[in-house]
């Protein structure tokens, strides 16, 4: 018995003339993600993508689990492939789908016959196989309108495919089909969720993390690398940029009013991220900001932060409550890491009473007192550390 995996795309189907390029990207992403589980032949036919193991070695369970996290797939199912012999099709359906047939109360058989030389037409396949199933599972009833289980038989050129239960896919658009964006990622709960949400809409991510040694530790940085590593299950390999903000933070502390520290630091993050983003052909920045969550996320503070960069800033969490964000964070398995108690550069030199209604004029006036701003930004951009994070880990950090 040979098993294969069928992928149904979702929104891609609405893409008209561009559909093919979206599907090609999806196949490329899927192939890459399941490569560690075996060798596969991947191809598309009639709005379905077929993933066929080339040998017995492939770990299909692991491949299915990985594919359930690939954006662009609405649903997937495992199918059994047999020779186009009707008796063999029936006996295989009974054995291969045994568990599903036992658990269901109602079913129907659906047949697709693209090989017209097969002696039975679709209605005949349905009635004959339906009869065989009823004989073996007397508890089952046929329901053609709303069955619990649809047993599908496809008679194709190279064989007959038998499948039933569909598994949910991750939905969204294939990563890369919307271009690239830089994700400002901290060690918190929000930013990994923001990255996940935008990757789901087809953006390829470049995570950027700011550190402030010796105020922030190597352990805090490793925490963020761990978060990025968890995100690779959905996003594929991620080149993470680590930027040193120490000198800038000290300069802000020395030259600016304390109640504006955070918003000015946020503006520096934006300016540096914009430069890195443009170098990497990114068309947007992404943050995990949520309106009113903290003083630096009031509309006034966000207005000041926005003005520091001319790239669009995507804030997918802006209207979400913390509980809603945490639900997604648990789903994508970043929550437990996010709540580990390590410091972030945002918690260094935190003002006791941050201004909740800063104006751009106030902020730019304060920034004008910082000497050598341009030179410090250029230095931060030039001295970035790039860490390639893949599903296997990150060299020198997670191995
Ligand atoms: P998070 O849970 O993502 O840390 P938060 O609610 O703690 O968010 P802030 O610390 O105010 O919020 O940060 C707001 C946003 O600024 C973050 O979502 C992230 O996009 C960005 N940010 C904060 N700290 C860093 C950092 N050290 N490096 C990169 N981006 C950061
Ligand atoms: Mg934070």
The confidence band for 354, taking pLDDT boundaries of 50, 70 and 90, is confident
pLDDT tens digits for range 245-280: 999 999 999 999 999 999 999 999 999 999 999 999
Q: Which residue has the higher pLDDT, 158 or 225?
A: 225
CA-based end-to-end distance of the chain: 37
Q: Whose CA is nearest to atom 17 of ligand 1?
A: 288
For a substitution probing ligand 1, which of 215, 343, 346, 354 has the most ligand atoms within 8 Å of its CB?
346
Ramachandran bin of 184, using left for φ above 0, alpha for ψ from -120 to 50, beta for the remaining angles: beta
Reduce the DSSP state of residue 181 to 3 states and report it: strand
Whether the pLDDT of residue 126 is over 70: the answer is yes
Quick one: how far is CA 93 from the chain centroid? 34
Q: Is the pLDDT confidence value at 17 over 70?
A: no
Percent of the chain with pLDDT over 70: 99
Rounded to whole angstroms, the Cα distance separating 301 from 345 reads: 18
The atom number, within ligand 1, closest to the CA of 192 reads: 3
Domain architecture of the chain: domains with CATH: 2-168 (3.30.2130.30), 180-394 (3.40.50.620)
pLDDT higher than 80, residue 13: no
Distance 57 CA to ligand 1 centre (A): 43
Ligand 1 atom closest to Cα of 266? 16
Q: Which residue has the tokens 């589980």?
A: 37
The tokens 């790239």 sit on which residue? 311
Write the pLDDT tens digit of every residue in 88-108: 999 999 999 999 999 999 999
pLDDT of residue 237: 96
Ligand 1 atom having least distance to the Cα of 191: 3
- How do 204-211 and 149-156 pair as beta strands? unpaired
How far CA 219 is from CA of 181, 212, 213, 222, 393, in Å, comes to: 26, 12, 11, 5, 16
C-alpha to C-alpha distances, 36 to 67, 77, 163, 363, nearest whole angstrom: 12, 20, 25, 50
- The string of pLDDT tens digits covering residues 218-228 is 999 999 999 99
């Amino acid at each position: 018995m040979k098993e294969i995996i069928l992928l149904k795309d979702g929104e891609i189907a609405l893409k008209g003339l561009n559909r093919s390029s979206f599907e090609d990207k999806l196949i490329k992403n899927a192939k890459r993600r399941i490569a560690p589980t075996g060798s596969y032949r991947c191809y598309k036919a009639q709005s379905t993508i077929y993933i066929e193991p080339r040998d017995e070695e492939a770990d299909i369970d692991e491949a299915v689990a990985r594919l359930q996290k690939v954006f662009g797939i609405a649903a997937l199912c495992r199918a059994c492939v047999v020779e186009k012999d009707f008796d063999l099709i029936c006996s295989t359906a009974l054995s291969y789908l045994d568990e599903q047939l036992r658990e269901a109360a109602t079913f129907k058989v659906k047949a697709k016959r693209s090989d017209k030389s097969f002696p039975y037409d679709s209605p005949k396949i349905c009635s004959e196989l339906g009869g065989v199933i009823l004989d073996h599972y007397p508890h089952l009833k046929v329901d053609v309108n709303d069955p619990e289980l649809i047993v599908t038989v496809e008679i194709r050129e190279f064989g007959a495919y038998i499948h039933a239960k569909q598994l949910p896919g991750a939905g969204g658009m294939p990563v890369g089909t919307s271009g690239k964006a830089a994700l400002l990622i901290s060690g918190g709960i929000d930013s990994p969720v923001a990255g996940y949400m935008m990757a789901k809409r087809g953006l390829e991510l470049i995570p950027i993390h700011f550190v402030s040694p010796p105020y922030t530790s190597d352990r805090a940085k490793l925490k963020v690398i761990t978060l990025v590593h968890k995100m690779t299950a959905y996003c594929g390999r991620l080149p993470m940029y680590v930027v040193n903000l120490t000198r800038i933070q000290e300069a802000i502390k020395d030259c600016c009013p304390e109640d504006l520290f955070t918003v000015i630091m946020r503006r520096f993050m934006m300016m540096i991220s914009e430069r890195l983003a443009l170098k990497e052909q990114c068309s947007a920045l992404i943050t995990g900001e949520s309106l009113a969550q903290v003083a630096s996320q009031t509309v006034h503070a966000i207005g000041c932060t926005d003005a520091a960069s001319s790239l669009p800033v995507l804030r997918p969490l802006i209207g979400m409550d913390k509980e809603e964000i945490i639900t997604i964070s648990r789903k994508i398995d970043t929550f437990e890491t996010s709540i580990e108690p390590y410091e972030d550069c945002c918690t260094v030199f935190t003002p006791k009473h941050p201004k909740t209604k800063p104006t751009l004029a106030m902020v730019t006036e304060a920034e004008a007192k910082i000497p050598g701003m341009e030179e410090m930004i250029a230095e931060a951009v030039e001295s970035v550390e790039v860490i390639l994070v893949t599903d296997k880990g990150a060299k020198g950090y997670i191995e």
